[in-house]
Structure 1
């Protein structure tokens, strides 16, 4: 998938989460070569060390790393750019963005993102009890925008195969890589 940025964007993405602990490193190793990683360790005291290690592994396995909400850290570790949280302010080279509704997709496009992660499609362990979009609403929103849209939230390889018919151009997950 190629959009606004010169680099080809991965179809498969890992979203990091502090609850992964040390399993994060195994998850990165298990990703298909050329996958994307969104580093979301926002409030960890050792965020810089985590980002450096993730960047080293990303380079080793041919993955694209983007850092959520921190262009300075993204540049410091040699990441491809920034992932903008939904409602966040664009900083630096925004490559991906989080979206939870149509307005979020518009914000992502205006920020210059090449890919918007629309979520949550299905129930997810990282946001228990959150209202889900469901496949139908996801498809209506994804088809109604000019930005590439990725499915996030309870997505597995099997679910992604079904979501492609609903305009999903990529997918991301946290827990799909912990098994």
Structure 2
């Protein structure tokens, strides 16, 4: 993501190499959304991803190490802040299919962690645009999701 570009408030997380369905999702992402690749991409996939990103005006966070950290508690948040991780995702905010046994972070704790994060936290876990609207006042700067974009 170039420095001159402001951070999008909505991020699609690519958690596995893209297949036909994922490429279709990428072509439908709203302009100025973000794409965070947390999986290995071969050179051809990276080129295709950059091409779609350019066409759709997407920010892509895929090519730098430690561009993002998922945190679940204050200790992990402090570590991410010490490492100056640019994007910090607090998870899970809501129940999620990918981790059905994980309990969501209580709202007041999420608000405290968002404040400690210095307005750098993205909400993750069971997120949708509607759910983000409800929790945005807690101090999050945006949200990220996997299945929210695949419908």
Coarse TM-score class (shorter-chain normalised): 0.7 to 0.9
> Does the CA-based 8 Å contact 1:105-1:147 persist in structure 2?
no
Query: What does 1:70-109 align with in structure 2 at a 5 Å threshold?
Result: 74=63, 81-82=64-65, 84=66, 94=67, 96-109=68-81
Query: What is the aligned partner in structure 1 of residue 98 from structure 2?
Result: 126
**Structure 2 counterpart of 1:140, from 101, 112, 130:** 112
Unaligned ranges ≥5, structure 1? 68-73, 75-80, 85-93
Query: What is the aligned partner in structure 1 of residue 6 from structure 2?
Result: 8
> Does the CA-based 8 Å contact 1:13-1:173 persist in structure 2?
yes
> Does the CA-based 8 Å contact 1:41-1:47 persist in structure 2?
no
Q: Distance in 2 between matches of 1:136 and 1:24?
A: 34
Root mean square deviation, CA, Å: 2.1
Q: Distance in 2 between matches of 1:147 and 1:47?
A: 33
Unaligned ranges ≥5, structure 2? none
Deviations 1:109-151 (A, max 9, x none): 2222333111111111222322321333211211223251110
Query: What is the aligned partner in structure 2 of residue 37 from structure 1?
Result: 35
Is 1:66 matched with 2:61? Answer: yes
Structure 1 residue 19: Cα displacement: 8.1
Query: What is the aligned partner in structure 1 of residue 52 from structure 2?
Result: 57
The aligned length equals 149
SS at match of 2:133: helix
| TM, length-normalised to structure 1 | 0.74
> Does the CA-based 8 Å contact 2:119-2:139 persist in structure 1?
no
> Does the CA-based 8 Å contact 2:17-2:39 persist in structure 1?
no
SS at match of 1:136: helix
> Does the CA-based 8 Å contact 1:120-1:133 persist in structure 2?
yes
Greater RCO, 1 or 2 (C-alpha within 8 Å, sep 6+): 2
Q: Distance in 2 between matches of 1:115 and 1:12?
A: 12
